[in-house]
Structure 1
Amino acid sequence: MSSCSSDQSPSSSACGNIPLTPAQQQAAAVGAEQDWAAAKAFYDNLVSTKRPRPPKPQNAITVAVSSRALFDMVKDRKIYEEEGVETYVKYQEENENVPLKPGPAFYFVKALEQVNARLRELYPNDEELFDIVLMTNNHAQVGVRLINSINHYSLSIERFCMTGGESPIGYLTAYLTNLYLSADSEKVQEAIEAGIASATMFTANKDIPYCDKQLRVAFDGDAVLFSDESEQIVKEHGLDRFFEHEQMNENKPLAQGPLKGFLEDLGKLQKKFYAKDERLDCPIRTYLVTARSAASSGARVLKTLRSWGLEIDEALFLAGAPKGPILVKIRPHIFFDDQMFHIEGAQQLGTVAAHVPYGIGQKYYKSKPKDDTVKK
């Protein structure tokens, strides 16, 4: 007897091996719409609730975060590794009324919710909002402490996926995930290979204040927003050949990288604020922080963004200089980079960094920051 799979597509049967007929697919879609209508009616009838109704998943920008990215669970993880799952679950139950401390993704999530609040003021009935999903392989018994911690910090996280020790990666597509953040590098690698924008979160080594009125997101260029095609030239043929290649291909757009879609999502929301004449007071600001040189290889990057119809608020070409000091000035809620030495430099100076394990650079640098959040 065959076992059922948890990641079947909408066009397959419950066990994923018998395709649904067009009529069955249509019936399933109608059923989903009815379920959503019922959920909407439920929230609309809660007159006294202060919680905003979650957006419809098809309209939302879904950011899935693991429990160890959202909260500081280093001590908890140590108990799990050294004493086993039963002791771990018992510990969580005994401490379920003790809020977990913020983890590396916490202030990023808070900033997303601040953007949502501004959008709801301007567009009360619009559902193109951020939707945060807690995606964790924790057991359901641990859920009470996670819920209590979320409520303690007044986070608007209504959708959970707790897989009881199994990998949650198969559910990312079902949850219509636009971005996945985790402290587990292996799960992030698996998600990247599945075509989902993902990054491994690292806690900063020192605390720096974050802007509480503006979401700030910093991106590296090659192998993050763009493909690694140019980086391959550097690694295999050196800088001189790279500069020559970029100048020859200045008017040829780079292929997209794993985080291009998330920048596009941010851009769509920015335009909503611009439409209300709030460009100067927009609660989203994006940054390109690249090791490229402006004069010798910057034009292709900017022309690529233009060809995609995307804007970047600030572009910083560092010509190989360290990124850490610049990031201290920016104070982003999150910084995405594919190179571990840039992650380390950012981390040491107080920036929450997220490693994108994509491209040829992964073959050349295997060091990892000394950060307990990535321990298995």
Structure 2
Amino acid sequence: MVSTVQNSDVKQKDEDQAVVVAVTFAAVFDAEAEDDRDVYRLGVALPLLQVLQRVNERLLEENPVEHQLFDIILITTETRQQQQSSSIINSTRHHGLEVGRFCFSSEDDFIESLAHNNVQLFLTTDGNEALQATQQGVPSALLDKNSASCPSDQLRVVLCQDATIQPNADSSGASKKSAQSFLTLLGQIRQKFGMFNSPLCFTIVTSCGGKDSCCSALKSLRSLGVSVDEAYCLGGAPRGPILSILRPHFLLSDGFSQLEG
């Protein structure tokens, strides 16, 4: 059973043009920490939610009638949390989070909830949830403490050649198609801004191969309408050190199912 409740505090996005991002309760809030005001403390997803709101603000500054905005959905499958739905809604209001909808489902139905809400990116702290979503054709990424320590006015997305250009052989056709569609949407948002002072930054990291491999990846992304701001060709070197410097809000890699630090 899937139940979706609109947040009356937030202006609803255009369902035909919005980029729908679903994030789990466990990523947004600390379920074990609730104060005497019946408000949950914030979790690791806070910097990401804040920067998504900032991108929306910049889009509306450029075009007050812009409809291609990020639409945030909070999803929970925990029965106890669903019984305390008023606390969840009050917590988003208290912290000023622009969550458009609240989705409540069972663990068995959470994939259905993603499809029901036309989710184009699923963010979680649970690797199993991310893997299940990816296998069903919903691009997903893990959030962890590294993403919690990088507040910014610019959404930083790192693309790795292994996943975005040459997906794993184990990835389903639906996963590849949905990943490319999501990248195209991000590329369209990036194109609404100039080369400098953009609220969205794309970086590509190629783990293997040399200059030719990097150029091929750039051309493939360009064919999807994605303009890359920075590119790093590692030539087989581990990507952990460069990622620790780039500090992306999320990394689209390995079938969009892992955030590697």
TM normalised by structure 2 equals 0.83
Q: Alignment partner of 1:199: what SS?
A: strand
1:200 is the counterpart of 2:142: yes
Aligned to 1:55: 13
Aligned to 1:97: 38
* 1:191 shift after superposition: 1.6
Aligned to 1:172: 114
User: How many residues end up aligned between the 2 structures?
Assistant: 252
Deviations 1:307-333 (A, max 9, x none): 333221111111122223222332322
* 1:57 shift after superposition: 1.5
Between stretches 255-264 and 122-131, larger displacement belongs to: 255-264
1:143 is the counterpart of 2:59: no
Indicate if the aligned counterparts of 1:59 and 1:128 stay in contact, CA closer than 8 A.
yes
* Structure 1: 4+ residue segments shifted above 6 A: none
Aligned to 2:29: 71
**Structure 2: distance between partners of 1:319 and 1:148:** 49
Select the structure with the greater relative contact order (CA < 8 A; seq sep ≥ 6): 2
Indicate if the aligned counterparts of 1:69 and 1:183 stay in contact, CA closer than 8 A.
yes
1:130 is the counterpart of 2:79: no
- Residue type of the alignment partner of 1:210: P
Indicate if the aligned counterparts of 1:216 and 1:334 stay in contact, CA closer than 8 A.
yes
Indicate if the aligned counterparts of 2:23 and 2:74 stay in contact, CA closer than 8 A.
yes
Q: Alignment partner of 1:222: what SS?
A: helix
Q: Alignment partner of 1:265: what SS?
A: helix
**Structure 1: distance between partners of 2:145 and 2:95:** 19
Aligned to 2:252: 336
Indicate if the aligned counterparts of 2:211 and 2:233 stay in contact, CA closer than 8 A.
no
Aligned to 2:50: 110
**Shift in CA distance, 225/159, structure 1 to aligned 2, threshold 3 Å:** farther
Indicate if the aligned counterparts of 2:130 and 2:141 stay in contact, CA closer than 8 A.
yes
- Residue type of the alignment partner of 1:147: I
Aligned to 1:221: 161
Indicate if the aligned counterparts of 1:133 and 1:157 stay in contact, CA closer than 8 A.
yes
Aligned to 2:185: 265
Deviations 1:197-255 (A, max 9, x none): 11233333x974432x21111121212453225x99xxxxxxxxxxxxxxxxxxxxxx9
Indicate if the aligned counterparts of 2:10 and 2:100 stay in contact, CA closer than 8 A.
no
**Shift in CA distance, 315/257, structure 1 to aligned 2, threshold 3 Å:** farther
**Shift in CA distance, 312/58, structure 1 to aligned 2, threshold 3 Å:** same
Aligned to 2:127: 185
Q: Alignment partner of 1:264: what SS?
A: helix
Indicate if the aligned counterparts of 2:164 and 2:252 stay in contact, CA closer than 8 A.
yes
The structure whose residues are more often strand, as a share, is 2
Deviations 1:130-151 (A, max 9, x none): 0000111133322222222212
**Shift in CA distance, 95/187, structure 1 to aligned 2, threshold 3 Å:** farther
Unaligned runs of 5+ in 1: 8-38, 44-50, 77-91, 233-254, 347-376
**Shift in CA distance, 280/133, structure 1 to aligned 2, threshold 3 Å:** same
Aligned to 1:358: none
Q: Alignment partner of 1:281: what SS?
A: coil
Aligned to 2:98: 156
**Structure 2: distance between partners of 1:167 and 1:106:** 26
Unaligned runs of 5+ in 2: none
**Shift in CA distance, 194/208, structure 1 to aligned 2, threshold 3 Å:** closer
**Structure 1: distance between partners of 2:58 and 2:209:** 36
Indicate if the aligned counterparts of 2:162 and 2:168 stay in contact, CA closer than 8 A.
yes
Deviations 1:167-193 (A, max 9, x none): 321021121111011223222222212
Deviations 1:62-114 (A, max 9, x none): 000111122234x47xxxxxxxxxxxxxxx7x8662332222x2211211110
Percent identity between matched residues is 31
